Amino acid sequence: MDWETLIPRIAKGVFYGVALLLAAGIVYGLTRLDYGVMVAYLDDLGRGALLTVELVAISVAVGFCIAVPTALLRASPRWWLSWPAYAYIFTFRGTPLLVQIFLVYYGLAQVDWVKDSFLWPYLREAYWCALIAFTLNTAAYTAEIFRGAIQAVPAGEIEAAKAIGMSKALMLRRVVLPRAFRICLPAYGNEIILMIKGSALASTITLLDLTGMARTVIARTYMPVEIFLAAGVIYFLLTFVFTRVFQRIEHRANRYLTAAR
Amino acid sequence: MFDLHGFGGQMALGALMTVQLALGALAVGLVLGLMGAVAKLSRDRLARAVGRGYTTIVRGIPELLVVLVIYFGSSGILTTVAGWLGHDEFVELSPYVAGIIALGLTFGAYATEVFRGAILAVPIGQIEAARAYGMGPWLTFRRIVLPQVWRIALPGLANLFLVLLKDTSLISAIGLNELLRASYIGAQSSKDAFTFYTVAALIYLAMTVVAEWGRARLEKWSRRGIARARA
């Protein structure tokens, strides 16, 4: 027997050994945790989770409204329409969300005309800063997703719409956008999940979202493992429920395509 | 154009640290990703379960939480294990090591899916041919599958690297002096947050552009000798 055939067996043995050790460690660790703390601070974490959901829901909804026109501009053949949209998308996709949040939260506060404007009561709140940064960020990613979907609408369907004599606006409303929306649903679902997870960054500018709340509770109890575990489970449940709901939506929206199968 | 109030050197060091973090996490993540993909495609049920558990859990919780858990959570575990081994002192990971592990874990979870797709995309006929020559599973993997996996997985991995590059900013939350934290310190002491974060954003953009250029070069190189289908 030569060594080339021995390697998979050795790898398997090592793998089982490590897996067994890890499983034993995890089980032992789980028995040593203080579950009372998790229960005691569950409604704090629940309130944090509520803020997380609120931040994500608003920024995704507003981001959607910005993304549709941006995607249309980006897909335009005229450079003076597509170029600004491209610059916006490139800037927000090329820099970290955390930098964008800091720029809005710390950066805007020193610009004098911002401080003098009627918007200042909002712009000095961490809540609104986080919402602005999240919205602009998700709008850029979403616009790029929509752009791909708009360009993926089968040419035959657009030709058919033209042949019936639809105006450009009508064609957009009845054919291109509904079709593009269905095409990009899986990618769009991914983006929303990334947003749920990205919203944890709100905790860095003092907001008490799920992560922020977890960090506050840990500062009080000195029990990072228990509280982070609880927060992790809640995030996991959030994304899990969302994926399931989104699967239903996807299934319904594309029913006319899958019905035959 | 930008007055950095003497913090320019700090920013440059921070940028260097960011690059270091990204490359370190890339190395860890590539190994984890390849292992995860092999585990997920294995005939072994335990290996599949471990692979699935890894990707599901890591992709289901926020990156920031992974970073915080690795940094703050590991010290308790390490101290306990060190206690068993007879060291009665507090043990913790440095933010740098914790950051590389945390980012490597997340990169690896997403890379697992990319590698899995790439391994599946290797034509089955080639694997059958290798078997017919009498190659064992390991030799087949090393000589036939792996060399092609790099080419197929490259676009997906490059995308993940761009995400990783920006995720390095999360390590500032555990106090490592990378680019964002360096700008934060500069912003705090000079009260000129706008300039510092704009410069940070521009540096990240420049890194993205360089990475994008590298991706194009690598992809072209990886496709050498491969016949392109004419559209």
pLDDT tens per residue across span A151-183: 888 889 999 999 999 999 999 999 999 999 888
**Coil/strand/helix, residue A20:** helix
Confidence of residue B1 (pLDDT cuts 50, 70, 90): low
Query: Average of pLDDT values for B213-226?
Result: 86
In chain B, the domains with their CATH numbers are 8-224 (1.10.3720.10)
Please judge whether A96 and B167 are an interchain contact, meaning their C-beta atoms are less than 8 angstroms apart.
yes
The model's pTM is 0.88
Buried b (16+ CB within 10 A) or exposed e, A9-28: eeeeeebeeeeeeeeeeeee
Cβ within 8 Å of residue A62, ≥6 positions away: A131, A135, A139
The pLDDT tens digits of the residues spanning B104-116 come to: 999 999 999 999 9
Q: Tell me how far apart the alpha carbons of residues A88 and A98 are, in angstroms, rounded to a whole number.
A: 17
What does each C-alpha distance from A221 to A167, A209, A234, B67 come to in angstroms?
Answer: 64, 18, 19, 20
The count of other CB atoms within 10 Å of the CB of residue A77 is 6
How far from chain centre, in Å, is Cα B140? 27
Token digits for A30?
Answer: 């789980």
Query: Residues 90..129 of A with a Cβ closer than 8 Å to B: which?
Result: 90-91, 94-100, 102-103, 106-111
d(CA A211, CA B72): 14
Residue A221 parent element (H or E)? helix A210-221
A232 to B208: CB separation less than 8 angstroms, yes or no: no
Tokens representing A254 are 């594309």
Q: Label residue B176 left, alpha or beta by phi (over 0 means left) and psi (-120 to 50 means alpha).
A: beta
Q: Which residue has the higher pLDDT, B8 or B203?
A: B203
Determine how many CB atoms are found less than 10 A away from the CB of residue B167. 25
d(CA A35, CA A109): 42
Contact call for residues B200 and B187 (beta carbons, < 8 A): no
Helical segments of B2-145, H only: 8-40, 45-60, 63-68, 74-84, 95-121, 124-132, 137-140
Helix axis angle for A210-221 and A224-253, nearest 10°, is: 170
Backbone torsions φ then ψ of B192, nearest 5 degrees:
-125, 60
When pLDDT is averaged across residues B83-95 and rounded to a whole number, the result is: 84
Count the residues in chain A.
Answer: 261
Confidence of residue A259 (pLDDT cuts 50, 70, 90): low
3-state secondary structure of A134: helix
pLDDT at residue B31 greater than cutoff 60: yes
Side chain identity at A202, as an amino acid letter?
A
Among B95, B134, B110, residue whose Cα is nearest residue B33: B110
Stronger pLDDT, B73 or B12, i.e. the higher one: B12
Q: Do the Cβ atoms of B201 and A98 come within 8 Å?
A: no
Nearest CA-CA distance, residue A107 and chain B, Å:
4
Interface of A with B in 143-202 (CB under 8 A): 196-201
Q: With contact defined as beta carbons under 8 Å apart, do A87 and A95 qualify?
A: no
| A244 touching B (Cβ < 8 Å) | no
Q: Is the pLDDT score of B40 beyond 70?
A: yes
Residue B227 predicted with pLDDT over 90: no
Residue of B68, B103, B165, B172 for testing the chain A interface, max A β-carbons within 10 Å? B68
**Residue A148 and residue A184 in contact, taking contact as beta carbons nearer than 8 Å:** yes
Task: Give the number of other CB atoms < 10 A from CB of residue A86.
Answer: 17
Q: Which of B173, B197, B198 sits opposite A204 (nearest CB)?
A: B173
Q: Do A103 and B198 touch (CB under 8 A)?
A: yes
For residue A118, the model assigns a pLDDT of 81
Q: Which two tokens stand for residue A170?
A: 């009508």
Instruction: Match 């703390």 to its residue by tokens.
Output: A37
pLDDT tens-digit map of A203-223? 999 999 999 999 999 999 988
Phi and psi at residue A2, in whole multiples of 5°? -95, 170
- What is the largest distance, in Å, between two alpha-carbon atoms of chain A? 81
Does pLDDT of B229 surpass 60?
no
Q: Which of residues 12-71 of A touch B (CB under 8 A)?
A: 12, 15-16, 19, 29
Name which residue leads in pLDDT, A71 or B1. A71
